[in-house]
């Protein structure tokens, strides 16, 4: 874990892969719930030699509540893959608490907060500015330094896993550098700010 990943202080909008994540972070900030963005990468599949084949980095960790949150505003075909990953995560790390927020949950949340008009702009491909590599199933993020956060502490799940070593992307799948991810995230946040001015 780096200083960048755990630095306390005001949240920056940059670094999110999807506009819905930026909106979710704003909701957490509003209710003064500490959060970290993608602070952990959990290996969930290994080959016979012990090499990590597949990993999963939940979107948010709420340290005070000791729960991970994974947001998805994707179509159902991709949600099934994410469901499988979450099931696998729960099997391998039974002490870990993770909440999966589906598109319908996010939509309901927006409705509740009077932001229903933003749902289509913050959902699925509309809110996505990077190819959703997670949905493809095998890309390991390498480490958690792309994460943001308001909390400087790590609680539940902190010692469950070490950051996984990077594995090669599948054929035809381009792995983005961290700086490219950040640039894309900043564009996402900028887009979110445009549609949801505060």
Partner 1 sequence: MKPAQDLVTDVAEVLLSEEQLEAKVAELGQQITGDYAGRELTLVSVLKGSLPFMADLMRHISLPLRIDLMEVSSYGGTSTESSGLVRILKDLSAPIEGRDVLLVEDIIDTGLTLNYLIRYLKGKNPRSIKVCALLDKPARRLVEIPLDYVGFQIPDAFVVGYGLDFGEVYRNLRFVGVLRPEVYES
Residues near partner 1 (CB under 8 A): 26-33, 62, 65, 67, 69, 99, 101, 104-105, 108-109, 111-116, 197-198
What is the nearest approach in angstroms of partner 1 to the Cβ of residue 84? 21
What is the nearest approach in angstroms of partner 1 to the Cβ of residue 98? 11
What is the nearest approach in angstroms of partner 1 to the Cβ of residue 170? 33
- Antiparallel, parallel or unpaired: β 67-71 and 42-46: unpaired
Q: Which of 165, 139, 125, 172 is nearest to 56 (CA)?
A: 139
Nearer to partner 1, 44 or 189 (CB): 189
Question: Radius of gyration (Cα) for the chain, nearest Å?
Answer: 16
CA 107 vs CA 85, 114, 119: distances in Å = 22, 10, 6
Residue whose token pair is 């948010």: 60
Nearer to partner 1, 69 or 139 (CB): 69
What is the nearest approach in angstroms of partner 1 to the Cβ of residue 113? 4
């Amino acid at each position: 874990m780096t200083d960048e990943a755990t630095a306390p202080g005001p949240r920056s909008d940059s670094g999110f892969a999807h506009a819905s994540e930026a909106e979710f972070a704003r909701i957490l900030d509003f209710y003064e719930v500490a959060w970290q963005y993608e602070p952990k990468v959990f290996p969930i599949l290994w080959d016979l030699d012990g090499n990590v084949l597949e990993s999963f980095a939940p979107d948010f960790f709420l340290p005070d509540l000791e729960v991970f949150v994974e947001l998805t505003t994707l179509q159902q075909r991709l949600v099934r893959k994410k469901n499988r990953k979450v099931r696998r995560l729960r099997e391998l790390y039974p002490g870990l608490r993770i909440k999966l927020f589906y598109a319908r949950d996010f939509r309901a949340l927006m409705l509740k907060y009077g932001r229903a008009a933003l749902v289509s702009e913050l959902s699925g491909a509309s809110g996505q500015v990077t190819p959703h590599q997670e949905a493809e199933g095998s890309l390991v993020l390498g480490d958690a330094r792309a994460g943001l956060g308001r909390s400087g502490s790590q609680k539940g799940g902190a010692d469950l896993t070490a950051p996984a070593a990077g594995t090669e992307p599948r054929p035809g799948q381009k792995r983005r550098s961290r700086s490219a991810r950040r640039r894309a995230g900043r564009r996402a946040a900028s887009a979110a700010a445009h549609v949801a001015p505060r």
